[in-house]
Each structure stands twice: as C-alpha cells, then as structure tokens.
C-alpha cells in the first residue's frame, strides 16, 4: 500500500506509538466512566447529577432526608384495578346525553375488544357536590361528598390499553415487568420512621391480587429490602403469627439473642453490605412478629368507626375492604412511609374488579358498593385526625373507558386516551380540577398529562426530584419516570 494514498489521520493510526497512546487513553476513559457512574458523579439525562440516598447497610430502613423539603411525609395509594370509567364517575360530559344512541363522530370503528357501538350517556346521574359544585355521579356519592377536599386530574393518558401492562405502567413507570414500584422507590429514598414496621405495605383486596400481582409493589432491581410487604386485615402472613405456645416475652428474648449473635458475626465481615442487609431484613421480620399483630388488630376500634367505614355491612367483601381501610390508617399512624390499598382482584369481565366489558351498570355498581363508603370514610377520618397535613392520598386506576358502548350494547371498552384520578391531602389544592378531556371524554385535550407526570408529581410532593432519584442498573441510570416526566405544578398548593 502506498503511504501517500493514506490520509494523515490514517498514517497516525498505523504508527505503533500513536496507536498505543490513543487506545490506552480510550480504555482508561471507559474505566473512569465506570468508576464515576458507581460514585454517582456522572450527569444523568437532562444534565442532572443523581442524588443517591445515604444508606447504612446495617439499617436500610432508617429515615433519610429527601432532595428538598417535602410537602408530604407519607403517601397512601388507593388503586382500583380494571379501568374505572371516568365518564360514569368524575368526568362530567353533557354531550353524552346529547348524542346518546348515535354513532360516535370522528372516533375509531374498532377499539381494543372489537367494533365500536353507539355513544352512551352515563349509567348514573351527575350532581353538583360541595361548595365547589363539582359534578360527580351517584355511583360514588360518598367520595362525591368530599369534592371540596379532592384534586382531580382529568387529562391523564396511558401508553397501553392492556391491564397487566397498564398496572405496571402506573405503579412502576414501565409496561414490562422487573422495574421497581413507586413505593419501592420512595422507601429506598426515604426509609421509614417506625423501625418495627415495614417502610412499604401493600394491602390487597380481600378477593385476591391484581392482574400484575406482586410486580405492583415489587422492588425490581432495587435491593429486596424495599419491596412492599403484602398482607391485609384478614390474612396476616403465616410467618408473622407467633405460636400460642410461645409467650411474647420469650419471643422478645429470642430476638434479642439472635441480634447479639448477628452483630458478633458481622464484626468478622465489616465490609459485607449484602450480609448486613440480610441481617437487617431478618431483624425487621422478627420485630414485625411483635408489632404487626398489634397494629392489625382493629377489634378495639370504637363502634362508630366500624359503622362509619362499613365494617358490619351485609356485603362481606365490603366489610373486609373496610377493615383494610382501617388497617391502612393505623399503619400510617404508626409511621409507615407508603401504604397501598387495592380495591379489585384479578378476574375477567369485572366480576371482582372494575373491568366492565359487559353489563357495566351492574359490574361498576358492584365495585362502587365495596369501594365508595370505606374509602371516603378513610379520607374523612384522616382529615379529622389531622393526618392529611402530612399524608398525600392518591386514588388511581390504569386507564379509563370509552364514551361509547361495545357491540354488545352493555359494556365500555378500554380507553387509554383519557382517564381521571385524584389526590388529596398534603401539598395539593383542594376542590381543584386540572386538565380536560374532549366533549366525549375520549381523548385528553387541555393540559394532557402522562403517567410519568403523575408519578413525578407524587415524588415531588414527597421531597424527591424524579430526575435525580435513580439507580445504576445495566449500564444506565434507571428511574421511576424513565427519561420522561414533568411535575404538574398547577395542582400544588
């Protein structure tokens, strides 16, 4: 090869000394980037440097400060699997009465489950509620009575119309499984105030788990210590029940002895963070055996509380869900950082959840009869006790439902283009509605917001910057909001 036919840059690459210098520098840069990423010194997307919590491996649940002063210290999430119909609950659309029975103008001929039917007015009447006059349907009269305390999001959008993926998206920020849940991110960042209880508790519906099951409260690639602890008022995990043959004092002495032995063992391996985390998890489990049965025992609650929540309802499922609502309040009172309360379990056609492809009037009414009174009582009770000064309440579902019926003439199909959720309590405006969907409630039009924005706002209210709360995993800085999301500032009090 004639060297004169090669560029000066090419000739430089053929020089052994220059090649070794260049390649050595490149390899060194790669090593430096890895070290900087491990030390959180690399800027993440948007130019912001990740801010990792300062976690003591021997006490991963210790309370920690956020990125900035928080409006809320704790969060309660009420999640309704199945897709609650916004046009039958909180999103009032007069045009549904006007065009009732007509073909939907400018809407698709086929949706998620088949051909599009006719526009259908809501199955329940809407009435103005509270001093704000917010129009809310008779399906949820008890929540409607709290209209002046609620902050509605009417222009939410999802990126999927399938239930498991929708649950994943709302609760983990991704449609695929394996990512940390919102509660896991918060407990990883902030820890918890009560070292005898988990930082994050998921209270399942008495009928079972939602479609995506434990992924909704899983820790994903975060340390396992931050996954949600799953139990409800009627079904404590078997390993939390101390046998009757063992006294409380004997159990405490055993746990104290194990703690002493664990500490002696860890002295031999002072740098083993995995060992320390395992020991901390086992010690929490031991303390939970002493504390969970007590905090979950609602039998000493006053009779008026039982009546207010609906514990003694002839509807057994409603009574069990009401107990779960009381348990949620008691856990928050004891300092648990994140409590998630599920209303609905995995089943087809809305039998045990809000998925109403057939006979929406019957299936939605059945779910609302279970959810409405206890949930409203929980919010009212927390307000009365002053808890809403510190607790953010989030009511949500994975997507909405269509303003037209399916071909069967009785159900509404999935609608990811517009749905409604609400917040209440610490840090959000009262009696406020943010954004709008179109005249039929089919697509978000005014101030459309994605689930990323919704979750970014929750983190912000907890004192966390969603762009800086990240975890280095598989070569990238992963976060709840992926590379998206903006705080919805209009709703902040």
Helix/strand/coil (H/E/C) assignment for every residue in 24-42: HHHHHHHHHHHHHHHCCCC
pLDDT score of 386 = 98
pLDDT score of 2 = 55
pLDDT score of 59 = 83
Per residue of the chain (493 residues), give pLDDT as tens.
555 555 555 555 566 666 666 565 555 555 555 554 444 443 344 457 887 888 887 788 899 999 999 999 999 999 999 999 999 999 999 999 999 999 988 888 888 888 889 999 999 999 999 999 999 999 999 999 999 999 999 999 999 999 999 999 999 999 999 999 999 999 999 999 998 899 999 999 999 999 999 999 999 999 988 999 999 988 776 656 667 777 767 777 877 787 788 777 877 877 676 677 677 767 776 777 667 778 888 998 999 999 999 999 999 999 999 999 999 999 999 999 999 999 999 987 678 999 999 999 999 999 999 999 999 999 999 999 999 999 999 999 999 999 999 999 999 999 999 999 999 999 999 999 999 999 999 999 999 999 999 999 999 999 999 999 999 999 999 999 999 999 999 999 9
Helix and strand tally (H, E) in the chain? 12, 19
**319 near 327, Cβ under 8 Å?**
no
DSSP string, 474-486: TTEEE-TTTT---
pLDDT score of 64 = 95
How far are the Cα atoms of 306, 329, 352, 371, 394 from residue 377, in angstroms, in the given order? 10, 11, 22, 10, 15
| pTM for this prediction | 0.86
- The residue behind tokens 């956020």 is 66
Residue 200 phi, psi (nearest 5): -140, 120
Going by the DSSP 8-state scheme, the letter that residue 441 receives in this structure is S
pLDDT score of 40 = 42
pLDDT score of 16 = 66
């Amino acid at each position: 090869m004639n060297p004169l036919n090669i560029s000066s840059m090419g000739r430089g690459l053929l020089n052994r000394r220059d090649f070794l210098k260049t390649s050595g520098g490149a390899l060194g840069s790669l090593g430096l980037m890895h070290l900087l990423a491990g030390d959180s010194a690399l800027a993440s997307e948007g130019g912001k440097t990740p801010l990792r919590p300062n976690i003591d491996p021997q006490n991963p649940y210790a309370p920690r400060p956020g990125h900035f002063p928080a409006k809320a210290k704790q969060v309660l999430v009420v999640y309704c699997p199945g897709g609650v119909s916004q046009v039958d609950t909180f999103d009032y659309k007069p045009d549904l009465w006007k065009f009732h029975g007509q073909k939907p103008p400018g809407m698709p001929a086929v949706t998620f489950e088949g051909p599009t039917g006719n526009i259908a007015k809501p199955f329940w009447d809407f009435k103005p509620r509270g001093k704000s006059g917010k129009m809310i349907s008779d399906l949820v009269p008890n929540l409607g009575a709290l209209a002046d305390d609620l902050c509605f999001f009417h222009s939410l959008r999802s990126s999927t119309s399938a239930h498991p993926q929708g649950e994943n998206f709302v609760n983990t920020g991704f449609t695929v499984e394996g990512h940390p849940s919102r509660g896991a991110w918060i407990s990883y960042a902030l820890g918890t105030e009560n070292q005898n209880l988990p930082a994050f508790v998921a209270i399942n519906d008495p009928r079972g788990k939602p479609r995506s099951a434990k992924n909704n409260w899983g820790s994903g690639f975060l340390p396992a210590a931050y996954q949600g602890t799953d139990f409800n008022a009627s079904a404590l995990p078997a390993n939390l029940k101390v046998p009757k043959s063992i006294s409380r004092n004997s159990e405490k002495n055993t746990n104290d002895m194990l703690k002493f032995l664990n500490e002696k063992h860890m002295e031999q391996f002072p740098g083993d963070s995995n060992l320390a985390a395992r020991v901390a998890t086992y010690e929490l489990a031991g303390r939970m055996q002493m504390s969970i049965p007590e905090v979950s025992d609602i039998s000493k609650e006053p009779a008026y509380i039982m009546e207010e929540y609906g514990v003694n309802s002839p509807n057994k499922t409603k009574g069990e869900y009401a107990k779960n609502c009381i348990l949620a309040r008691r856990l928050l009172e004891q300092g648990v950082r994140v409590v998630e309360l599920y209303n609905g379990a995995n089943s087809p056609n809305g039998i045990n959840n809000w998925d109403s492809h057939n006979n929406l009037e019957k299936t939605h009414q059945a779910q609302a009869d279970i959810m409405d009174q206890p949930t409203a009582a929980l919010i009212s009770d927390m307000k009365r006790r002053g808890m809403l000064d510190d607790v953010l309440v989030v009511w949500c579902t994975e997507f909405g439902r269509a303003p037209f019926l399916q071909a069967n003439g009785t159900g509404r199909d999935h609608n990811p283009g517009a749905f409604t959720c609400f917040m209440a309590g610490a840090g959000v405006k009262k009696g406020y509605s943010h954004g709008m969907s179109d005249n039929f409630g089919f697509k978000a039009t005014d101030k459309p917001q994605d689930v990323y924005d919704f979750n970014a706002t929750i983190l912000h209210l907890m004192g966390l910057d969603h762009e800086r709360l990240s975890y280095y995993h598989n070569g990238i800085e992963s976060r709840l909001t992926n590379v998206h999301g903006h705080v919805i500032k209009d709703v902040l009090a």
